Structure 1
Amino acid sequence: MLLATPMHRLFQQFVERLASASSRESLGDAMSGAAAALHLPCFAYLAVPDRSGNAPQLISNYPLKWTQHYLQNNYERFDPVILEALEQPEPFKWGLGLERISFSTPQREMLAQAASFGIRHGFTVPIHSASGLTAAVTFAVDERRPSFDRCIEEYARVLQLMAICFHSHALRKLHPDHGIGGWSLSPRELECLEWAAQGKSAWEIGRILGISRYTVASYLENAKEKLGVRTIVQAATRLAAARTQQQD
């Protein structure tokens, strides 16, 4: 029998807490606990606005005064971290000494304000869909200590998987209405179809969502039946077309 490693146990507990979460607050508690165990005291999940005009959605343990100020001033429109996440799908570190672009005056002011709340360095995981950036998950610290760099170097892929899992569960809490183009898919059917459209196997989707691959296959079959198609490619195409019509 293989013994579970501390990281394996941490991730499993994280997935279990996400699965049982019944609110935005309990989702945030799940991520806060897992991140704190890795000596990452702050996190923020930002679901970016889409073309339909939906407001940004934030789940975070950042200071409330800062998050309220951030959203009220629409900082997501020029936040350099979000702008970089728009351009690339891979996770990246940011902070003092890691600047890749020259900042505008509003951006410098925004970063200075964030630093005053102890948000000076971070590791951000962009989450992209077929239509572009969907969300970004950031783990932040007040100082760039050696322990922060070691954590990112050793657990970057684990943090990425945690971010993807969190996003999957947050979708159901932030967007409960899954009626699209006259079809009504359940939250799980929609989640499984979206991941399958990105090339994920049933086994991979099961790991992300914390369910078995057989359950994933069942959800995908239900989705195909509801959409009146035979293949995942056809289902994803029909879903994408319906969403495009909604946004126009």
Structure 2
Amino acid sequence: MSVNGNLRSLIDMLEAAQDGPMIKSALRSFAHSCGYERFAYLQKDGTQVRTFNSYPGPWESIYLGSDYFNIDPVLAEAKRRRDVFFWTADAWPARGSSPLRRFRDEAIGHGIRCGVTIPVEGSYGSAMMLTFASPERNVDISGLLDAKKAVQVVMAVHYQLKILAAKMAISPKRMLSPRELMCVMWATRGKNTPDTAKLTGITPRTVQHHLDNAREKLDAKTVPQLVAIAKDRGLV
């Protein structure tokens, strides 16, 4: 399949993605099909930076902890242009002890030597970009990518991550009370209502009341579904 055929397939896979791992799997598959090892989606809104990537964990911590987004040559280039572009760390300063030199060496050390970036202008002055990176010296598909489809991919990632964030968000009104959470915790351990009543010292009727409240708050129709949702959202 051609690069643009893979791009079309990626858009379809992103549309069908139901969670973060599925989004990552789709992006990773496209990256590998084009000769890249990793991907990175980045959204910059003022001084706030959000990332979703397959880069090594230590590199993400170094990048954000050192505020490298202020000197990153890829971000600087993305600000100047709105089309797909190729970049290589070999073009960045290789001598001296400047922060940019340190950035270059650390990027290469973590397997990020060249890549292709798709920048997109967001709303209210925000910026989004999707990068596919390789540890090799020259893997350039920028001239093969259909510009409109490339932008579609970035927007698909953007909206799928927004949907994912909305699914994971829980407003204060929908948070479980301590008693509700306690009953759900015992339910995740396979305890039924009478068992939980004996373990907690409250009546079975009260246990059921707390579970019913928890189901209503988390939009669960059954206790097993309640348990699954609570686990998925990291509540237990």
What amino acid maps onto 2:121 in structure 1?
Answer: H
The answer to whether the Cα contact below 8 Å between 1:66 and 1:114 also exists between their aligned partners in 2 is yes
Shift of 1:59: 1.0
Shift of 1:153: 2.2
Alignment partner of 1:28 out of 17, 21, 24: 24
* Aligned partners of 1:85 and 1:133 also within 8 Å: no
How far 1:20 sits from its partner (Å)? 2.6
| In structure 2, C-alpha distance between the alignment counterparts of 1:16 and 1:41, rounded to whole Å | 21
Give TM-score scaled by structure 2 length: 0.59
CA contact (8 A) 2:89 2:108 kept: no
Alignment of 1:78-89 (within 5 A): 78-89=71-82
* SS class of match (1:144): coil
Contact 2:40 2:130 in 1 (8 A): yes
1:103–1:12 distance in 2 versus 1, CA, 3 Å = farther
Q: Does 1:171 align with 2:162?
A: yes
The verdict on how the C-alpha distance between 1:6 and 1:94 changes in structure 2, with shifts beyond 3 A counting, is closer
What is the root-mean-square deviation in Å for CA atoms of aligned residues? 3.0
Amino acid at match of 2:129: A
The one-character-per-residue Cα deviations of 1:126-145 (angstroms, maximum 9, x if unpaired) are: 11035334211111111224
Cα gap change, 1:65/1:125 in structure 2, threshold over 3 Å: closer, same or farther?
Answer: same
Cα distance in structure 1, aligned partners of 2:127 and 2:167: 16
Corresponding residue pairs, total:
166
| Structure with the greater alpha carbon radius of gyration | 2
Gaps of at least 5 residues in structure 2 are: 169-236
Residue ranges of structure 1 left out of the alignment (5+ in a row): 178-248
Deviations 1:56-89 (A, max 9, x none): 2111111111112212222212212112212221
Deviation per CA, 1:197-234: give whole Å up to 9, x if none. Answer: xxxxxxxxxxxxxxxxxxxxxxxxxxxxxxxxxxxxxx
- TM-score w.r.t. length of structure 1: 0.57
1:64 has 2:57 as partner: yes
Deviation at 1:44? 0.5
Query: Structure 1 counterpart of 2:22, which letter?
Result: S
**2:134 equivalent in structure 1:** 141
Give the counterpart of 2:84 among 72, 88, 91.
91
Q: 1:144 to 1:160 in 2, by over 3 A?
A: farther
- Given the superposition, is the C-alpha separation of residues 115 and 130 from structure 1 closer, same or farther in structure 2, using an over 3 Å criterion? same
| Structure 1 residues 156 and 68: alpha-carbon distance in aligned structure 2, compared to 1, 3 A threshold | farther
**Percent identity at matched positions?**
24
Kindly state the Cα deviation for residue 22 of structure 1 after the two structures are TM-superposed.
2.7
**In 1: Cα distance, 2:136 partner to 2:118 partner:** 19
